[in-house]
Structure 1
C-alpha cells in the first residue's frame, strides 16, 4: 500500500542544511528520526492557504477555517496507489507495498501530484516505479473522486489499484527516488497487514488513515467469510 507510516517529530532539531547533511551520512533506516523545524511567515503559500468561511444552517450561523489548495487542479489533486503483488505460480501469498517516511510540511506528496496532461492511472503507474521500483502491468480499478477531510480542505485524491505480477518469486527492484527523498519500502502479506500496522503503532509510528481503512476492510471481509459456529 503506497501510503506512509510516519514517526512523530522528536526533540532533535536541525537546520535544513544540517538535516540534509545528516541524511546523507545516516543509514536510511535512521533518517526518519531527524526532522527540521523552522518558523517562517509565507507571503505566497505554494500548496494550501487558510481562509475564513461563514456558514448558516438550520438558523444557526457560525464561522470556520478552511485550508484550500492554492491552485487546485481541475479534477484530481493526488493519487493513492494500492499495489497488488502476486505470484503467477503461487510462490508467495498476495501482498502489497507500504512505505516508511517522515513527511515534513513541504510541497511534496509521497505518491506524487498529477502532472499536466497525465491521467490519474498514468500517474499511479509512474509514481509506483519511481518511489518503489516496482512496475505495474496494468490498472485493476480506479476509485471515484475522494476527499479525506472535507471539513478542513478541498484537497482530493483518487485511489488506483494496480497489478504487479511475478512469474515465480518476489524480487525487490531498485528505487528511482528524486534528490532529497528518503523512503523505506516494505512488502507485507495482505493477510498480515493488520498485525503489521499494530506492530508499527507500538514502535511509535503514525498510520495513514487510508492504509488503516484498507486493513480494517480486509480483516472484516475475512471474518465475514468464516462460517458461523453452531451453538
Structure 2
C-alpha cells in the first residue's frame, strides 16, 4: 500500500519537475502586486499535459467512461481521475496531442488501436486550457476518445511506465456522479476536473434542476 513517509521543504535549485517564482504585476488601479507561482519545468511545446475523456462502447452495453486511480503523494491519497500524462517532445500541435493521448491511454489502461485494445476514434482535441491558474502556469489539453470493443473482447493489458501503479475503472457514463460519490466513501479523492464533468452530465440529463435552463 502506498503512503507518504515524510515531507520536507525543497529548494528551487534541487527541484527537477517544478519550480517556484515570484510574479510582479499591476492591478487595475496601477498598484504593483506580487504573486507566487509554481511552474512545470518539462514543457516541450504549447502544453504540459493531455487528459483523456475515454468512452468505451460494447454493442450490448451502455457507454462507460474509462477512469484510473493512482496514489498522489501531494494529497496522501489514491485519486480517481481521467487517464492523463505529460506531452513529450515531438508531440506539439493537434496531431502531436493525438499521439500523446493515444500513447498515454495505451500505457495507463491498455486500450488502443489494435485487436485487443479496441477501435479508437478521436472525437475532439481541445485547445490549451489553464490548470489551477491561481497557483501554477501549468496547462493541458483534453482529448475525447471513443473506444469500440466487441462484446467478447477481453479487457486489454496496461503497459505502465516503471514506477507507475495505476488501477483501471469502468463506470457507466450516466452513473458517473454516483460512482464518484461511492469512490469517496471508499476513501478515494476525486479529481475536481472529473467531478466537473460529472456535474455537466447531470445537468445535461436534467437531474440538477436545469431541465428548462439554457446552461
TM-score by length of 2: 0.80
CA distance in 2, matches of 1:50, 1:189: 40
Structure 2 unaligned blocks of 5 or more: 75-82, 114-119
- The one of 110, 114, 125 equivalent to 2:102 is 125
- The one of 196, 200, 206 equivalent to 1:213 is 196
Matched, 1:165 2:148: yes
Structure 1 unaligned blocks of 5 or more: 1-30
Please list, as runs of the form range in 1=range in 2, the aligned pairs for 1:148-159 lying within 5 A after superposition. 148-159=131-142
- The one of 79, 83, 87 equivalent to 1:114 is 87
Which secondary structure does the structure 1 equivalent of 2:146 belong to? strand
Matched, 1:134 2:134: no
Deviation at 1:124, TM superposition (A): 0.6
**1:169-192 CA-partner distances (Å, limit 9, x unpaired):** 563111111222111111100011
CA distance in 1, matches of 2:200, 2:126: 16
Please list, as runs of the form range in 1=range in 2, the aligned pairs for 1:23-42 lying within 5 A after superposition. 31-32=1-2, 34-39=3-8, 41-42=10-11
Between 195-204 and 125-134, the greater mean CA deviation after superposition: 195-204
C-alpha RMSD of the superposition: 2.3
CA distance in 2, matches of 1:215, 1:163: 17
Paired residue for 2:57?
86
Matched, 1:100 2:69: yes
Distance 1:104 1:227, change over 3 A: closer
Deviation at 1:46, TM superposition (A): 1.7
Which secondary structure does the structure 1 equivalent of 2:86 belong to? coil
CA distance in 2, matches of 1:77, 1:170: 34
Runs of 4+ in 1 over 4 A off after TM superposition: 224-228
**1:96-144 CA-partner distances (Å, limit 9, x unpaired):** 1111111236xxxx62211211211111111111111111513111111
Distance 1:196 1:146, change over 3 A: same
**Relative contact order, higher structure (CA 8 A, sep 6+):** 1
Which secondary structure does the structure 2 equivalent of 1:99 belong to? strand
TM-score by length of 1: 0.75
Please list, as runs of the form range in 1=range in 2, the aligned pairs for 1:15-54 lying within 5 A after superposition. 31-32=1-2, 34-39=3-8, 41-42=10-11, 43-54=13-24
Matched, 1:61 2:32: yes
Q: Which has the higher strand share?
A: 2
Deviation at 1:40, TM superposition (A): 5.7
CA distance in 1, matches of 2:42, 2:101: 21
